[in-house]
Amino acid sequence: MNNGFRLPAEWHRQSAVLFVWPHGRSDWSTSLDAIQDVYERMAIEISRRQALWIVCYDEALQAAIQQRLQNAGATTHNIRYFIAPTNDTWARDTAPLTVLDGVGRGRLRNFRFNGWGGKYPHDLDDGLNQRLAGQNAFDAARLDSIDLVLEGGSVETDGNGTLLTTAQCLLTTTRNPRLSQSEIERTLSEALGLKRFLWLHEGSLAGDDTDSHVDNLARFTAPGTITYVRCDDTGDEHFAALAAMEAELRQFRQANGEPYRLVPLPWPKAIVEDGERLPASYANFLVINGAVMVPAFADPADAEACRRIGDCFPGREIVPIDSRPLIAQRGGIHCATMQFPLWKD
């Protein structure tokens, strides 16, 4: 059921990007130097183009970040700071999703967060949005609580009412065990103004502890275009599952009945840490005003990934971001951030 709301695509004009700065009380405690360098680079690139909202664990961390970003040359007048303790820093999965009404006013949807199906502590992260609203982070936009466990990385929209997602994540019994697929679709349609659902049943990445978030697998880059990860190495453990996912994507149709234009992304060489393969993916890019921030892994395929994503977003600057420190905790640029579309007051 579409109720006049619309979930805008990521390429919609944005008002801000939010992220949670890494802190020593999270899993980043043993690699703070490396990961803070990545967040500093992201902060510089985002603040050059639009507002950046940074969530800090406490006042001491905020003071340190402010000094760091000033010294690094960030556009400091575009940065707002908020204080909120968090378990972790993956804002994509804890920050609210924004819908626009018929005249372009914003409403924020605050879904429940349960640590990716109960895998990790999550009490502070589940309460993050209420803490931010209490600090007027979202200005006049209303924050509506939705009684459904949902992470932002598990859903992808074309901005025209179509949602792309994975059955492995949304239908797992560790999130909403009492709800059927049709009941989940109904709740999301009402909350986000959706008309159509595209369900991927195939595709996964080794080391991914999100139960196959779609933002590591396939992304809309235009209403009729989907870019996706493809493995051409028949000896790779991912080959069969990703080939099956590609076949599913070829069967999908747009609202007008036409097939989607499909743009495969290159496959980075395996990144292994402590004997475990990490879920490196070029699909975990972030679109911002005038640019796209693309994961880089010091891999020969980085340049080709930037070229293909750049072809999908003509007129936007392509900004590679070294994502090796992010992938060490099984995340990426998109996982670490949440964009907010421009809305009317």
Q: Which two tokens stand for residue 267?
A: 């496959």
Residue 315 CB partners (closer than 8 Å, separation 6+): none
**Is pLDDT at 250 greater than 60 in this prediction?**
yes
HSE value, Cβ hemisphere, 13 Å, CA-based, for 174: 14
Segment 182-188 shows an average pLDDT of 98
pLDDT score, position 1: 45
Closest to 170 (Cα-Cα) out of 196, 148, 146: 148
- Sole residue written with tokens 């000094």: 67
pLDDT tens digit sequence for 129-155: 999 999 999 987 899 999 999 999 999
Average pLDDT, the chain: 97
At 305, phi and psi to the nearest 5? -60, -45
pLDDT tier at 259 (50, 70, 90 boundaries)? very high
- Rounded Cα–Cα distance for residues 6 and 307 (Å): 30
Taking residues 207-233, report their average pLDDT: 97
Average pLDDT of the residues in 307-333: 98
Is 4 exposed, middle or buried, given 0-12, 13-18 or 19+ CB atoms closer than 10 A? Answer: exposed
* pTM of this structure: 0.97
Helix, coil or strand: residue 115: helix
Under CATH, which number does the domain 14-341 receive?
3.75.10.10
By annotation, the residues acting in catalysis are: 335
Task: Enter the tokens of residue 234.
Answer: 């028949």
**What tokens were used for 336?**
């670490």
pLDDT for the residue 139 = 85
Spatial distance between the Cα atoms of 75 and 44, rounded to a whole number of angstroms: 7
Exposed / middle / buried, residue 329 (Cβ in 10 Å: 0-12, 13-18, 19+): buried
Q: What digits encode the pLDDT tens for the residues 79-108?
A: 999 999 999 999 999 999 999 999 999 999
For strand 14-20 and strand 337-341, is the pairing parallel, antiparallel, or unpaired? antiparallel
pLDDT at residue 13 tops 70: yes
Q: How far apart are CA 160 and CA 9, in angstroms?
A: 8
Of the CA atoms within 13 Å of residue 214, those in its CB half-sphere come to 25
User: For the residues 6-19, what does the mean pLDDT come to?
Assistant: 98
Q: Distance between alpha carbon 55 and the CA centroid of its chain, in Å?
A: 16
Say if residue 21's pLDDT is above 50: yes
Residues 193, 185 contacting (CB under 8 angstroms): no
For the cut 90, the answer to whether the pLDDT of residue 2 exceeds it is no
Name the band, by pLDDT with cuts 50, 70 and 90, for residue 3: low
pLDDT at 10: 98
Answer yes or no: is pLDDT of 345 > 90: no
pLDDT tens digits, residue range 265-282?
999 999 999 999 999 999
210 contact partners, CB below 8 Å, separation of at least 6? 93, 116, 151, 153, 154, 169, 216, 330
Residue position matching structure tokens 């293909």: 308
